[in-house]
Amino acid sequence: MELCFATNNEHKLDEVSTALGNAFILRTLHDIGCTDELPETTGTIAGNSRQKARYIWQHFGIPCFADDSGLEIDALNNEPGVDSAHYSGTRDHGKNIQKVLTNLLGQSNRNAQFVSVFTLIMPDPSGEPVEHQFTGIFPGQITNAPRGTDGFGYDPVFLPNGYPRTLAEMSMAEKNAISHRAQALKKMVDFLSA
């Protein structure tokens, strides 16, 4: 069965294709001819994930899934949340990290979590779309300064609970085994395999 992943992000694509194995023919936005900027206007991670998947289903009629993720920091009222990718007003990872660290100055509560939500849309036997959502939550702490050079986004300042290294100090394989996206993806793959 063909299944479209509503992304052109190579990091995400590698992770998902490895998890899905050969059970599905995975298509990207590029593969299905989608050059549109997918809408992300709901204000929530789950809502944005659903909105992107619905857009693909409505415009291309192919079984699909979309994800949305974000970093939620307790002391910042769950910011940056849905604005994680452009928290500083840009998509510059370094500037986004710097804004987080600046906003946390003087805060003793460094608790944070990454949240990832996958929305899967597949037709039922009558051809009507059925939606399923799968959530992964990855708790940790925000460090006082960046550590490590691997990964992307907020990985250099995110120290997962129970681990001595930030995500940027881990290999991609280590990170992919425990991350929020990996958790949500495993739930979706288990569902598809049932």
Q: Are residues 16 and 6 in contact, defined by beta-carbon separation less than 8 angstroms?
A: no
Q: Are residues 158 and 69 in contact, defined by beta-carbon separation less than 8 angstroms?
A: no
- Is 36 an active-site residue? no
d(CA 41, CA 125): 31
Structure tokens at 68: 């949305």
From 68, 92, 124, 155, the catalytic residue: 68
DSSP of 89-103: SSS-HHHHHHHHHHH
Q: Is 25 helix (H, G, I), strand (E, B) or coil?
A: strand
Q: Are residues 54 and 39 in contact, defined by beta-carbon separation less than 8 angstroms?
A: no
Which contiguous run of DSSP H or E holds residue 132?
A: strand 129-142
CA 140 to chain centre: 16
d(CA 57, CA 21): 23
Q: Which residues are known catalytic residues?
A: 68
